[in-house]
Structures are given as C-alpha cells and as structure tokens.
C-alpha cells in the first residue's frame, strides 16, 4: 500500500525490510523554510518475530531525524535500533521481543527529510561494550553546530536491553548541541552489550530550540505530545524521549515526529510496577 500527497517532484519509495517482507509506506508533506521538508514512514508486516523497517529520503534529500513506533504486544517488544545511517539517506527501526510473545506486532520507521542544510553531518558515539546493567553515552555536535535530530541503537542486547532515555541539552530559547542516551539491561542478560548515540547536526538555523513536555507522574502507561508552536510558523526537525522512573521496568513504544510541528512519545509499564513515573517528549524546533 502506497500513499503520497503533494510530495517533492523527485521522490523515491521508503522501503521496508523485514523478516516477513514488505507492507506499507506513507508520506506527509509540508511547506518549509527548511527547504523541501517532509515526513516519511515505512511499516513492516505484523507477526511475532524480530523485524526491521527501513524508511528512505528521496534522492537529493537528507535525513534529519530517525524515529520509531511499535504496534501490538505492548510492553513485550523493545526498540532495539532507531538507526540513522551515516549516508543520511535512510533510517531503520528494529523491534525485538523482550522475553518472547505469541502476539503479532509490527514496527514502523518514522523519518524527517529535507534538502541538505549547511554543514549537515552525522555524529556517532558508543558506550563501553561489557555486561554492566546500566550505561549511558553522550554524542555532541562539533564546533558551533546544533542538533536537527537523533537516533540510537543497542549492540548485543538481543531484546534484553532497551533505551529508556535520549535526553538533549538546550531549552525553550536554546538549540540542542548534544544528546545523552541511556539504556538498561532489563532481562539481566550475561552478554556484553553497548548503547550507541547518533546525531544529525548542522549549522544553526533561525529560531532553533528544544520544547520539552512531561506527563503526569503515575503508574499507568502513557504518552505525551510536544508542540513547537502554531502550524505554518514552526517545524519539528526531530523528536526524542526520556522516561524518569523505575529503570528497566518502563518500555518506550513510540518516539517520533508525529506532524510537521509536533513530537510524540509513548511508554508502557511493562512489569506492572507500583512506582510512579513520567515520560518527557523533546521536540527539536525551528522557525518555518
């Protein structure tokens, strides 16, 4: 199934690669001062095996942010990879089962793309590769460059490890220049593993800032939307997420730019913990 509305003249399909094949593609356009801005997504088939979705930017456009979402088997599936490729041509989203489930589920790769911004580049940092139960890694933009978007991956986790936070610096009047990604060994695997942080950086853009919105603190599964402002006046180049609560017990289900001016994240209380927790969505914003 394919749908496209008002896309740039030159466009290519966002391909889904998965254990069981190919299912759906969607694209959402927007007029933008970040020239050629649009959103793209690709979704796998729904079954009960690990799988990867791949979404591609059009030829000549470059990736600004990698996001992902899972559908089905809530709390039993972790986002193992929300990977922004160094080529800036595509991103992948990989879902893996946390302990195994017979419930069918799918994963979607969500991306934002635009014509290249001045100084646009890819940054990658990796944590230590060992058996420690918790670890974090910080990726920083070089020089005076700022964050357009981000991604993260787990190496060696096998579904037992998941990211619970990818926290940027910056604020309501300040652009982000770094993101710290934190992950937990939720299932107690004895394998070595690491967490990776990816940034897409560029020269500063007008009105660049970070909008953060935090949910209420309670024990229920929850999501929160972060808005950059009025439609037509702002753009969300990227989005990310952080959970504050019992580490390893809350699973991030959604983390992506949901409209041209909003970011969305959702997390599930996977263990039924009675400890209250919050989720924060961070939107990387620019003036339109």
Specify the pTM: 0.90
- What mean pLDDT is predicted for residues 15-27? 43
Whole-angstrom CA distances from 207 to 155, 168, 234 are: 35, 17, 9
pLDDT score recorded for residue 275? 98
What is the predicted pLDDT for the residue at 21? Answer: 42
E-assigned strand segments in the chain = 24-29, 38-43, 51-56, 62-71, 77-84, 90-97, 106-114, 121-126, 134-140, 146-155, 161-168, 178-185, 194-202, 209-214, 222-227, 234-244, 250-259, 262-269, 278-287
pLDDT at 32: 41
- Cβ neighbourhood burial of 180 (10 Å; 0-12, 13-18, 19+): middle
Rounded CA separation 76/159 (Å): 10
> Per-residue pLDDT averaged across 256-284, rounded?
97
| Nearest to 281, CA basis, from 196, 208, 198, 210 | 210
pLDDT at 30: 40
Name all domains of the chain by residue range, CATH numbers in brackets: 24-115+122-287 (2.60.120.690)
Separation of alpha carbons 249 and 273, rounded Å: 7
Residue of 81, 75, 252 whose CA lies nearest to 151:
81
The per-residue pLDDT for range 80-119, each reduced to its tens digit, is: 999 999 999 999 999 999 888 999 999 999 999 999 999 9
**Which pLDDT value is given to residue 2?**
26
Tens digits of residue pLDDT in 28-42 = 444 347 999 999 999
Local confidence band at 189 (pLDDT 50, 70, 90 cut-offs):
confident
Please give the share of the chain, as a percent, with pLDDT higher than 90: 85
Is the pLDDT confidence value at 71 over 70? yes
User: Residue 11: which pLDDT band, with cuts at 50, 70 and 90?
Assistant: very low
pLDDT computed for residue 27 by the predictor:
52
258, 240, 121, 162 alpha-carbon torsion, rounded to 10°: -120
Does residue 269 register a pLDDT over 50?
yes
pLDDT at 4 over 60: no
pLDDT tens digits, 191-241 = 999 999 999 999 999 999 999 999 999 999 999 999 999 988 999 999 999
Residue 13 has pLDDT above 70, yes or no: no
pLDDT at position 8: 44
Residue 99 is predicted with a pLDDT of: 81
Q: Does residue 188 carry a pLDDT above 90?
A: no
HSE-up of 134 (CA within 13 Å, CB side)?
7
What average pLDDT is seen over the chain? 90
């Amino acid at each position: 199934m394919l749908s496209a509305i008002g896309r740039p003249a030159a466009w290519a399909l966002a391909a889904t690669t998965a254990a069981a094949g190919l299912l759906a593609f969607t694209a959402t356009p927007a007029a933008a001062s970040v020239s050629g801005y649009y959103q793209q997504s690709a979704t796998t088939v729904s079954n009960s095996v690990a799988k990867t979705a791949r979404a591609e930017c059009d030829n000549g456009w470059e990736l600004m942010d990698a996001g992902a979402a899972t559908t089905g088997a809530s709390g039993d599936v972790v986002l193992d990879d929300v990977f922004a490729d160094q080529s800036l041509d595509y991103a992948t989203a990989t879902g893996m089962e946390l302990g195994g489930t017979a419930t069918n589920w799918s994963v979607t790769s969500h991306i934002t793309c635009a014509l290249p911004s001045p100084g646009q580049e890819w940054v990658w940092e990796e944590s230590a590769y060992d058996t420690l139960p918790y670890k974090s890694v910080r990726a920083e933009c070089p020089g005076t460059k700022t964050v357009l978007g981000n991604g993260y991956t787990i190496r060696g986790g096998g579904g037992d490890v998941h990211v619970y936070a990818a926290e940027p610096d910056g604020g309501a009047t300040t652009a982000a220049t770094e993101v710290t990604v934190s992950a937990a060994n939720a299932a107690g695997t004895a394998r070595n593993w690491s967490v990776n942080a990816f940034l897409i950086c560029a020269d500063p853009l007008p009105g660049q800032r970070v909008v953060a919105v935090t949910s209420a603190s309670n024990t229920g599964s929850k999501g929160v939307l972060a808005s950059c402002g009025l439609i037509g006046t702002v753009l969300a180049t990227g989005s990310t997420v952080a959970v504050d609560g019992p580490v390893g017990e809350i699973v991030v289900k959604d983390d992506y730019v949901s409209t041209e001016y909003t970011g969305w994240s959702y997390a599930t209380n996977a263990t039924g913990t009675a400890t209250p927790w919050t989720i924060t969505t961070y939107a990387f914003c620019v003036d339109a």
